[in-house]
Amino acid sequence: MKSYRILDCHVHYALPIRRDALHETLRCVGADAANLVVVPDRARISCVPDALAYKHAYPGETYVFTSLDVSEYMRHPKSVGRRMKAFAARMLRAGCDGIKIIEGKPDMRRMLPVPDFDDPVWEPFFAWAERGQIPILWHVNDPEEFWDEARIPAFARERGWFYGKDTVNNEEQYRQVTTLLARHPKLRIAFAHMFFLSAQLERLAGYMREFPNIRVDLTPGVELYVNLSRAPEAARAFFDEFPSRILFGTDIGARAVINRTPLDKKESFQRVKLCRSFLEKRGEFSMETDGGFLMGEGGLKLFGLGLPDDMLEAIYHDNFISFAGAPPRAVKKRRVLAECRRLRFMLGLMKRFDRDFVADYSAVDDVRAYFKSTRSAHKHSIEREAST
- Report, in angstroms and rounded to the nearest whole number, the Rg of the chain calculated over CA atoms: 21
| Residue (of 253, 258, 339) closest to 71 by Cα position | 339
Domain boundaries, the chain: 7-387
Contact between 168 and 118 under an 8 Å Cβ cutoff? The reply is: no
The conformational region for residue 252 under phi > 0 = left, psi -120 to 50 = alpha, else beta, is beta
Q: Can you tell me the distance from the alpha carbon of 82 to that of 316, in angstroms, rounded to the nearest whole number? A: 35
| Predicted TM-score (pTM) of this structure | 0.94
DSSP 8-state symbol, 93: H
Contact between 65 and 97 under an 8 Å Cβ cutoff? The reply is: yes
Instruction: Report the SS3 class of residue 365.
Output: helix
List, as one string, the DSSP characters of 199-256: T-HHHHHHHHHH-TT-EEE----HHHHHHHHHSHHHHHHHHHH-TTSEE----BTHHH
pLDDT, tens digit only, all 388 positions of the chain: 789 999 999 999 999 999 999 999 999 999 999 999 999 998 999 999 999 999 999 999 999 999 999 999 999 999 999 999 999 999 999 999 999 999 999 999 999 999 999 999 999 999 999 999 999 999 999 999 999 988 888 888 888 889 988 899 999 999 999 999 999 999 999 999 999 999 999 999 999 999 999 999 999 988 999 999 999 999 999 999 999 999 999 999 998 998 889 999 999 999 999 999 999 999 999 988 765 566 665 678 999 999 999 999 999 999 999 999 999 999 999 999 999 999 999 998 887 877 888 999 999 999 999 999 987 554 433 334 344 4
Instruction: Report the SS3 class of residue 332.
Output: coil
| Residue (of 341, 330, 328, 329) closest to 367 by Cα position | 341
Angle, in degrees to the nearest 10, between helices 232-241 and 222-230: 100
Domain 7-387: give its CATH superfamily: Metal-dependent hydrolases (3.20.20.140)
